[in-house]
Structure 1
Amino acid sequence: MSTATDAPGIADTLSPTARTRIGRGRNRMVAERDRLHTFLAEALVAHLGLMVGSGADAHPIVLPTAFAIDLDGPDQCGTLYLHGSVGARWLRTAPDASICVTVTELDGLVAGRSAFHHSMNYRSAVIIGRPRLVDDHDERQRALDLIVDHMIPGRSATLRPSTRKELAATAVLALGLVEASMKARDGGPGDEPEDIEVGVWGGHIPLRRVSGAPVPDDDARGQVPADVSNRAVGLAG
Structure 2
Amino acid sequence: MPPRPTAAPSPRTRLRRVPEKAAYDRATIEAILDAMPVAHVGYVMDGAPVVIPTLQWREGDHIYWHGSSASRSLKAGKGAQVCVTVTLVDAMVMARSGFEHSVNHRSVMIFGEARAITDLSEKRRHLQAMFDRMFPGRWETLRPITDKELTATGILSLPISEASAKIGAHAPGGSDAEEDRSFPVWSGLLPISLATGAPIPAPDLPAGVTLPEGLRRWRFGEIAE
TM-score normalized by the length of structure 1: 0.85
Structure-to-structure mapping, 1:226-237, within 5 angstroms: 226-232=213-219
Call closer, same or farther: CA 1:110–1:181 in 2, change over 3 Å: same
In structure 1, runs of 5+ residues without a counterpart are 72-77
Task: Report the Cα distance in structure 1 between the residues aligned to 2:79 and 2:23, rounded to whole angstroms.
Answer: 30
Structure-to-structure mapping, 1:51-200, within 5 angstroms: 51-53=44-46, 58-71=47-60, 78-186=61-169, 187-188=171-172, 189-200=174-185
Call closer, same or farther: CA 1:149–1:51 in 2, change over 3 Å: same
Task: Report the Cα distance in structure 1 between the residues aligned to 2:140 and 2:105, rounded to whole angstroms.
Answer: 33
Task: Report the Cα distance in structure 2 between the residues aligned to 1:175 and 1:227, rounded to whole angstroms.
Answer: 29
Task: Report the Cα distance in structure 1 between the residues aligned to 2:131 and 2:20, rounded to whole angstroms.
Answer: 35
Query: For 1:66, what is the secondary structure of its paired residue?
Result: strand
The 10-residue stretch of structure 1 (221-230 or 81-90) with the greater mean CA deviation from structure 2: 221-230
Residue 223 of structure 1 and its aligned partner are, at CA, apart by: 1.4
The 10-residue stretch of structure 1 (149-158 or 171-180) with the greater mean CA deviation from structure 2: 149-158
1:17 aligns with 2:10: yes
Task: Report the Cα distance in structure 2 between the residues aligned to 1:116 and 1:174, rounded to whole angstroms.
Answer: 39
Residue 31 of structure 1 and its aligned partner are, at CA, apart by: 2.9
Call closer, same or farther: CA 1:232–1:215 in 2, change over 3 Å: farther
CA RMSD of aligned residues (A): 2.0
TM-score normalized by the length of structure 2: 0.89
- Opposite residue 124 of structure 2, the aligned amino acid is Q
Call closer, same or farther: CA 1:37–1:113 in 2, change over 3 Å: same
Call closer, same or farther: CA 1:37–1:214 in 2, change over 3 Å: same
RCO higher in structure (CA 8 A, sep ≥6): 2
Residue 219 of structure 1 and its aligned partner are, at CA, apart by: 1.6
Query: For 1:220, what is the secondary structure of its paired residue?
Result: coil
Q: Per-residue CA shift, 1:21-71, capped at 9, x if unaligned? A: 111121111232111111111102000101001xxxx21110100111101
Residue 233 of structure 1 and its aligned partner are, at CA, apart by: 9.3
Residue 150 of structure 1 and its aligned partner are, at CA, apart by: 3.5
Identity of aligned residues (%): 36
Greater fraction helix: 1
Query: For 2:182, what is the secondary structure of its paired residue?
Result: helix
Call closer, same or farther: CA 1:233–1:173 in 2, change over 3 Å: closer
- Would you say the 8 A contact 2:35–2:221 is kept in 1? no
Structure 1 residue ranges (4+ consecutive) displaced by more than 6 angstroms after TM superposition: none
Call closer, same or farther: CA 1:157–1:143 in 2, change over 3 Å: same
Aligned partner of 1:204 in structure 2 is: 189
- Opposite residue 126 of structure 2, the aligned amino acid is A
In structure 2, runs of 5+ residues without a counterpart are none
Structure-to-structure mapping, 1:213-228, within 5 angstroms: 213-221=198-206, 222-228=209-215
Query: For 2:78, what is the secondary structure of its paired residue?
Result: helix
Task: Report the Cα distance in structure 1 between the residues aligned to 2:108 and 2:217, rounded to whole angstroms.
Answer: 27
